[in-house]
A and B are shown apart, each in its own frame.
Chain A
Amino acid sequence: MASLSTKHLLGIADLSTEDIQLIHSTADEFKEVLSRKIKKVPSLRDVTIANLFFENSTRTKISFELAEKRLSADVVNFASSTSSTKKGETLIDTVNNILAMKVDVVVMRHPQPGAHRLLSRHIDAKIINAGDGAHEHPTQALLDAYSIRERLGEVGGKKVCLFGDIKHSRVAISNILCLQKLGAEVMVCGPGSLIPKYVNGLGVKVSHNVQEALAWCDVANVLRIQLERQQVRYIPSLREYNQYFGIRKSHLDALDKEIVIMHPGPINRGVEIDSDVADSEHSIILDQVENGVATRMAVLYLLAEA
Chain B
Amino acid sequence: MEKRLLLEESLLNLILRRLAFQLIESHQSFEESVFIAIQPRGIELMHAVVKALEEVKAIKPESLQQGTLDITFHRDDFRSGKSLIPKSTDIPFAIEGKRIILIDDVLYTGRTIRAALDALVDFGRPKDAELLVLIDRKLHRDLPIQAKYVGKTIDSIEEERVTVDLEGKSVWITPKTPDNG
Contact = CB atoms under 8 A, between A and B. Distances in A.
A28 B88 contact: yes
B83 A305 contact: yes
Interface stretch (B1-9, B117-125, B126-134, B142-150): B117-125
Nearest to A3: B83
Interface residues of A, number: 23
Interface string A276-292: 00000000000000000
A2 B121 CA distance: 28
A29 B70 contact: yes
A46 B79 contact: yes
A42 B74 contact: yes
Interface string B83-113: 1111111100000000000000000000000
B78 A29 contact: no
A46 B82 CA distance: 16
Secondary structure class of chain A's binding surface, majority of residues:
loop
For chain B, which range describes its interface: under 10, 10 to 19, 20 to 34, or 35 or more residues? Answer: 20 to 34
A29 B122 contact: no
A32 B89 contact: yes
Given A36-B123, A37-B124, A305-B78, A2 B73 contact: no
A47 B119 CA distance: 19
A29 B39 CA distance: 13
Contacts of B72: 29, 43
Given A29-B73, A43-B73, A43-B74, 7 more contacts: A3-B83, A26-B86, A29-B86, A36-B123, A37-B122, A304-B79, A305-B78
Interface of A: 1-3, 22, 25-26, 28-29, 32-33, 36-38, 40-44, 46-47, 301, 304-305
Interface of B: 70, 72-75, 78-79, 82-90, 118-119, 121-124
List the 3 shortest-distance A-B pairs measured between CB atoms, nearest first.
Answer: A41-B73, A3-B83, A29-B86
30 contacts: A1-B82, A1-B85, A3-B83, A25-B85, A26-B85, A28-B88, A29-B70, A29-B73, A29-B86, A29-B87, A29-B88, A29-B89, A32-B89, A32-B90, A36-B122, A37-B122, A38-B123, A40-B122, A41-B73, A41-B74, A41-B119, A42-B74, A43-B72, A43-B75, A47-B79, A301-B73, A305-B78, A305-B79, A305-B83, A305-B84
